[in-house]
Structure 1
Protein backbone atom coordinates (compact mmCIF):
# COMPACT_ATOMS: atom_id res chain seq x y z
CA UNK A 1 0.00 0.00 0.00
CA UNK A 2 2.83 2.41 0.88
CA UNK A 3 4.67 1.67 -2.35
CA UNK A 4 1.53 2.34 -4.41
CA UNK A 5 1.04 5.67 -2.63
CA UNK A 6 4.69 6.59 -3.23
CA UNK A 7 4.41 5.63 -6.91
CA UNK A 8 1.32 7.85 -7.26
CA UNK A 9 3.18 10.75 -5.67
CA UNK A 10 6.09 10.29 -8.06
CA UNK A 11 3.78 10.19 -11.08
CA UNK A 12 1.92 13.30 -9.93
CA UNK A 13 5.22 15.07 -9.29
CA UNK A 14 6.47 14.17 -12.76
CA UNK A 15 3.22 15.40 -14.30
CA UNK A 16 3.50 18.73 -12.47
CA UNK A 17 7.11 19.20 -13.58
CA UNK A 18 6.22 18.36 -17.19
CA UNK A 19 3.37 20.87 -17.06
CA UNK A 20 5.77 23.59 -15.84
CA UNK A 21 8.31 22.69 -18.54
CA UNK A 22 5.63 22.88 -21.23
CA UNK A 23 4.53 26.28 -19.98
CA UNK A 24 8.13 27.54 -19.98
CA UNK A 25 8.67 26.23 -23.52
CA UNK A 26 5.53 28.00 -24.76
CA UNK A 27 6.63 31.24 -23.09
CA UNK A 28 10.11 30.99 -24.61
CA UNK A 29 8.65 30.35 -28.07
CA UNK A 30 6.35 33.37 -27.71
CA UNK A 31 9.29 35.58 -26.66
CA UNK A 32 11.38 34.32 -29.59
CA UNK A 33 8.55 35.12 -32.05
CA UNK A 34 8.25 38.63 -30.63
CA UNK A 35 12.01 39.16 -30.82
CA UNK A 36 12.00 37.95 -34.43
CA UNK A 37 9.30 40.51 -35.24
CA UNK A 38 11.30 43.30 -33.59
CA UNK A 39 14.44 42.33 -35.51
CA UNK A 40 12.46 42.18 -38.75
CA UNK A 41 10.85 45.57 -38.05
CA UNK A 42 14.28 47.12 -37.41
CA UNK A 43 15.65 45.38 -40.52
CA UNK A 44 18.32 43.67 -38.43
CA UNK A 45 19.62 40.25 -39.39
CA UNK A 46 21.18 37.65 -37.16
CA UNK A 47 24.74 36.82 -38.12
CA UNK A 48 25.13 33.12 -38.81
CA UNK A 49 28.65 31.75 -38.32
CA UNK A 50 29.70 29.83 -41.43
CA UNK A 51 26.75 31.12 -43.45
CA UNK A 52 28.66 30.94 -46.73
CA UNK A 53 29.28 27.23 -46.27
CA UNK A 54 25.66 26.60 -45.37
CA UNK A 55 24.45 28.52 -48.42
CA UNK A 56 26.87 26.54 -50.59
CA UNK A 57 25.42 23.27 -49.25
CA UNK A 58 21.90 24.51 -50.03
CA UNK A 59 22.91 25.44 -53.59
CA UNK A 60 24.38 21.94 -54.03
CA UNK A 61 21.05 20.47 -52.96
CA UNK A 62 22.50 19.09 -49.71
CA UNK A 63 19.72 20.31 -47.46
CA UNK A 64 20.27 17.74 -44.71
CA UNK A 65 23.95 18.64 -44.44
CA UNK A 66 23.04 22.35 -44.49
CA UNK A 67 20.60 21.85 -41.61
CA UNK A 68 23.23 19.92 -39.68
CA UNK A 69 25.82 22.65 -40.30
CA UNK A 70 23.35 25.34 -39.22
CA UNK A 71 22.57 23.45 -36.01
CA UNK A 72 26.26 23.03 -35.22
CA UNK A 73 26.98 26.72 -35.92
CA UNK A 74 24.05 28.15 -33.99
CA UNK A 75 22.93 25.54 -31.48
CA UNK A 76 19.42 25.70 -32.96
CA UNK A 77 16.94 22.87 -32.70
CA UNK A 78 16.05 20.71 -35.68
CA UNK A 79 12.85 22.53 -36.63
CA UNK A 80 14.37 25.98 -36.24
CA UNK A 81 17.41 24.97 -38.31
CA UNK A 82 15.23 23.47 -41.05
CA UNK A 83 13.13 26.64 -41.23
CA UNK A 84 16.24 28.83 -41.34
CA UNK A 85 17.80 26.76 -44.12
CA UNK A 86 14.54 26.87 -46.06
CA UNK A 87 14.61 30.68 -45.82
CA UNK A 88 18.10 30.65 -47.36
CA UNK A 89 16.79 29.05 -50.55
Structure 2
Protein backbone atom coordinates (compact mmCIF):
# COMPACT_ATOMS: atom_id res chain seq x y z
CA UNK A 1 0.00 0.00 0.00
CA UNK A 2 2.78 2.43 0.89
CA UNK A 3 4.56 1.82 -2.39
CA UNK A 4 1.38 2.54 -4.37
CA UNK A 5 0.84 5.84 -2.52
CA UNK A 6 4.49 6.81 -3.04
CA UNK A 7 4.27 5.97 -6.74
CA UNK A 8 1.03 7.89 -7.18
CA UNK A 9 2.47 10.91 -5.34
CA UNK A 10 5.56 10.82 -7.54
CA UNK A 11 3.43 10.71 -10.70
CA UNK A 12 1.34 13.67 -9.54
CA UNK A 13 4.42 15.73 -8.66
CA UNK A 14 6.04 14.91 -12.01
CA UNK A 15 2.84 15.91 -13.81
CA UNK A 16 2.69 19.24 -11.96
CA UNK A 17 6.33 20.01 -12.74
CA UNK A 18 5.81 19.18 -16.42
CA UNK A 19 2.71 21.37 -16.59
CA UNK A 20 4.54 24.22 -14.87
CA UNK A 21 7.35 23.95 -17.41
CA UNK A 22 4.90 24.15 -20.31
CA UNK A 23 3.13 27.17 -18.80
CA UNK A 24 6.45 28.97 -18.26
CA UNK A 25 7.46 28.30 -21.85
CA UNK A 26 4.11 29.60 -23.12
CA UNK A 27 4.41 32.75 -20.99
CA UNK A 28 7.89 33.45 -22.39
CA UNK A 29 6.62 32.94 -25.94
CA UNK A 30 3.69 35.29 -25.37
CA UNK A 31 5.98 37.95 -23.88
CA UNK A 32 8.31 37.67 -26.90
CA UNK A 33 5.40 38.01 -29.35
CA UNK A 34 4.05 41.03 -27.45
CA UNK A 35 7.47 42.73 -27.61
CA UNK A 36 7.64 42.12 -31.36
CA UNK A 37 4.12 43.42 -31.84
CA UNK A 38 4.97 46.54 -29.85
CA UNK A 39 7.96 47.13 -32.13
CA UNK A 40 5.79 46.73 -35.24
CA UNK A 41 3.21 49.18 -33.86
CA UNK A 42 5.97 51.64 -32.99
CA UNK A 43 7.54 51.30 -36.44
CA UNK A 44 4.20 51.96 -38.12
CA UNK A 45 3.58 54.86 -35.71
CA UNK A 46 0.33 53.26 -34.55
CA UNK A 47 -0.97 53.62 -31.02
CA UNK A 48 -3.26 51.32 -29.12
CA UNK A 49 -6.55 52.98 -28.33
CA UNK A 50 -7.43 52.87 -24.64
CA UNK A 51 -11.16 52.90 -23.92
CA UNK A 52 -11.95 55.71 -21.47
CA UNK A 53 -8.48 57.20 -21.82
CA UNK A 54 -9.71 60.74 -21.11
CA UNK A 55 -11.13 59.69 -17.74
CA UNK A 56 -7.96 57.80 -16.84
CA UNK A 57 -5.78 60.78 -17.78
CA UNK A 58 -8.03 63.04 -15.69
CA UNK A 59 -7.56 60.75 -12.69
CA UNK A 60 -3.79 60.84 -13.17
CA UNK A 61 -3.80 64.64 -13.32
CA UNK A 62 -5.79 64.75 -10.08
CA UNK A 63 -3.14 62.58 -8.44
CA UNK A 64 -5.49 59.59 -8.14
CA UNK A 65 -3.08 57.01 -9.47
CA UNK A 66 -4.69 54.03 -7.75
CA UNK A 67 -8.10 54.89 -9.19
CA UNK A 68 -6.50 55.44 -12.62
CA UNK A 69 -4.89 52.00 -12.50
CA UNK A 70 -8.21 50.45 -11.47
CA UNK A 71 -10.03 52.24 -14.31
CA UNK A 72 -7.36 51.13 -16.80
CA UNK A 73 -7.70 47.52 -15.65
CA UNK A 74 -11.47 47.63 -15.95
CA UNK A 75 -11.31 49.20 -19.42
CA UNK A 76 -8.65 46.93 -20.88
CA UNK A 77 -8.61 43.75 -18.80
CA UNK A 78 -4.90 44.27 -18.14
CA UNK A 79 -3.11 42.85 -15.13
CA UNK A 80 -2.02 45.00 -12.21
CA UNK A 81 1.60 45.45 -13.29
CA UNK A 82 0.71 46.17 -16.92
CA UNK A 83 -1.94 48.70 -15.85
CA UNK A 84 0.46 50.43 -13.45
CA UNK A 85 3.11 50.71 -16.16
CA UNK A 86 0.58 52.04 -18.67
CA UNK A 87 -0.71 54.66 -16.23
CA UNK A 88 2.88 55.68 -15.43
CA UNK A 89 3.48 56.23 -19.16
CA UNK A 90 0.43 58.53 -19.29
CA UNK A 91 2.02 60.97 -16.84
Q: Which runs of 5+ in 2 are unaligned?
A: none
Question: What is the Cα deviation at residue 36 of structure 1?
Answer: 0.5
Matched ranges for 1:23-42 at <5 A: 23-42=25-44
Q: Report what 2:73 is aligned to.
A: 71
Counting matched residue pairs gives 89
Secondary structure, counterpart of 2:16 in structure 1 = helix
> Aligned partners of 2:24 and 2:66: how far apart in 1?
28
TM-score in terms of structure 1 length: 0.97
Secondary structure, counterpart of 1:72 in structure 2 = helix
Q: Which runs of 5+ in 1 are unaligned?
A: none
Secondary structure, counterpart of 1:45 in structure 2 = coil
> Aligned partners of 1:3 and 1:34: how far apart in 2?
47
Structure 1 runs of 4+ off > 6 angstroms? none
How large is the RMSD of aligned CA atoms in angstroms?
Answer: 0.6
Q: Report what 1:49 is aligned to.
A: 51
Q: Report what 1:84 is aligned to.
A: 86
